[in-house]
Amino acid sequence: LNASIGGRMWATHPNWAESMYQAEEMLMEHQRAAILSMHKRDERADTGHFLIMDTGLGKTLTSLCYFHRWLKQQERRRKSQASKIEYILWVTPAGTVENLMEQLNSTWRVPTWKVPRISAAKNPKFGDSTNLKLERFAVNVIHADHLRAAIDKGLAEKATSSVIVFDEVDEMYAPTLRTSAARRLAQLCAKFVAQTATPMRKNESQLRAWLADTCSFPVDSQNLLVAASGMVSIQLELGIQSIEKLETTPMLDIVRKGCRSLIQSRAWLEMAK
């Protein structure tokens, strides 16, 4: 297969081409703007990206389309690194794995693999594994809390041939083993997107560490805001206005009678009107 398509796996892979064509057609204006911003940043410096979008605005599709475009672009330019990238890793916190898998599989129909939890037990539980198992040319979804064990079983080596999405990266700020494992992968991989709806947390030092990998200059407490200005932040202006109007109604007997009837029937909407 590699020989037949000249090494351009991400551009022409049968499981990606049609699905991503349809996904690209579904992109909304704000998502296209975010992808364009990340590509413009790529032209200036070879760094990771910090993508900020409110919940429900489509971070998943935005990151997916960005990476597919980026991988195709690298292949067209015949960069040696691109030919080595075989995995998209999607690191996501507890409670989001199944929803993400459903979205990737059913909505966007891209090749997806749920990375089994690695167990040290002689007889692993059903669904667990004693070895790291990744699928080439697929989105490999891995639970954030399983990173450390996966790194010990070879994920660090695989990271160099991967691009990575860190979903809800604000949950990877605290000084924990999970955060240190995620930070290690971010430094090893070919490219990453750290996405969240809530980038600013109290743990400034950890945010600074993530920002350092998305900037072409050293980041410290003095230039934190300068570094943060490079975040790709997308917000929607919906143009909805709230108009308040005061109306007075004389409390005549007929009005009182009507109010009592509405209260007894618990017709609160009609009561408000």
pLDDT tens digit string along 161-204? 999 999 999 888 888 889 999 999 999 999 999 999 887 766 67
Could you give the CA distance from residue 22 to residue 24 in angstroms, rounded to a whole number?
Answer: 5
Sign of CA dihedral 24, 25, 26, 28: positive
The pLDDT-based confidence of 81 (bands split at 50, 70, 90) is: low
In 151-267, the DSSP E strands lie at 162-167, 191-196, 232-234
The pLDDT-based confidence of 3 (bands split at 50, 70, 90) is: very low
Specify the pLDDT at position 109. 93
Query: Does pLDDT of 212 surpass 90?
Result: no
Specify the pLDDT at position 264. 84
Could you give the CA distance from residue 118 to residue 147 in angstroms, rounded to a whole number?
Answer: 9
What mean pLDDT comes out for the span 94-111? 93
Query: Does pLDDT of 108 surpass 80?
Result: yes
Put residue 196 in one of left, alpha, beta given phi > 0 → left and psi -120 to 50 → alpha.
beta
What mean pLDDT comes out for the span 43-55? 89
Specify the pLDDT at position 267. 80
Specify the pLDDT at position 4. 35
Could you give the CA distance from residue 228 to residue 50 in angstroms, rounded to a whole number?
Answer: 9
Question: 90-102: per-residue pLDDT in tens?
Answer: 999 988 999 999 9
Specify the pLDDT at position 6. 44
Specify the pLDDT at position 239. 59
Q: What is the DSSP string of 78-103?
A: T-TTGGG--EEEEEE-TT-HHHHHHI
Specify the pLDDT at position 238. 53
Specify the pLDDT at position 20. 93
